[in-house]
Amino acid sequence: MRKLRGGVITLWLLICLTATSVSAEVNVGIGISLPNVSIGINLPLFPQLVAVPGYPVYYAPGVATNYFFYDGLYWVYQDDSWYASNWYNGPWWTVDPWDVPLYILRIPVRYYRYPPPYFHGWRHDEPPRWGLHWGPQWEQQRKGWNRWNRHAVPPRAPLPSYQRQYAGERYPQRPEQQQRLHQQHYRYQPRTKAVRQQYLYQQQHQQQRRHDTQPERMQVTPDRPQQVWQEQPQPRGPQQQQPTMKQPPPVKQVRPAGPEMQQRYPSQPSHQQRGPAPSEQRPHGKEQRWQPNQGSGQPERGFAR
């Protein structure tokens, strides 16, 4: 009974030690992002990159993931997805299977440090059978991806060795800082269209991110003059309209003749003192009377109802 108990304890210790060593190895090398979202690659130093014979590609034998360098970008295959970055420790962005460069797809199986289970049984000196994994539609769209002239392989891109000095705490975390340093120290331009598209995608994403991180600064500045311009006409409108609205009342007050004409001509007799004037027949049969002209003093015809 004691021997059995001792064996169980020993087996439990071995399992714990194995799990600890495996997790430590994985944590050193995995952590990627979807655009700029970390998925686990945390490299303390610039990785050692070794050329793949006969291919314009480098691979990292000391990194605990499928890590490559091709045409100016770092590439990682993990969890059935491809990722790319222009810095060795990310941040990374996802690459659609339709957009993966051809020479990345052609890397032989033996250079995948952690191949997925469906790689088992495939020849190590041949590229993975991506058509079987991603389906006939992908195979039809990328037809001929596994056929090329092995004697006309393009040269390898130079490694961005300037990134060796940016390790540990010196590693730039902000993508805009990484982009500025990369443009200053790495003059290489990608040759393949697929990689140029990835560069363009990353630049557009950085511009969009800068726009999203500073929404208030971009909106407050133009709004201030616009608000002043809208507020200024509002008090002016009533001021300009007041004279036009107030003009009719004074004019109406000056024209009435009753009280005003009596003050100007106090000795003028009223209609009753002067007596009736010659009358004329109105269409409705009402009597017409002469009234003095208020402006010139001459008699003017009018109707008294």
pLDDT of residue 229: 43
pLDDT of residue 4: 52
Find, among 100, 99, 127, 89, the residue nearest to 111 by Cα.
127
**Which residues in the chain show pLDDT less than 70?**
1-39, 205-305
| Residue 17 maps to a domain | no
Find, among 228, 296, 305, the residue nearest to 257 by Cα.
296
pLDDT of residue 37: 58
Domain extent at residue 186: 31-213
pLDDT of residue 10: 58
| Residue 277 maps to a domain | no
| Residue 6 maps to a domain | no
pLDDT of residue 198: 86
pLDDT of residue 228: 43
Give how many domains the chain has, as a whole number: 1
pLDDT of residue 195: 92
| Residue 301 maps to a domain | no
pLDDT of residue 207: 66
| Residue 133 maps to a domain | yes
| Residue 204 maps to a domain | yes
| Residue 262 maps to a domain | no
Alpha helices in the chain (DSSP H): 2-29, 102-105, 130-134, 136-141, 175-185, 193-213, 215-231, 233-246, 248-254, 258-264, 271-274
3-class state of residue 232 by DSSP: coil
| Residue 111 maps to a domain | yes
pLDDT of residue 125: 95
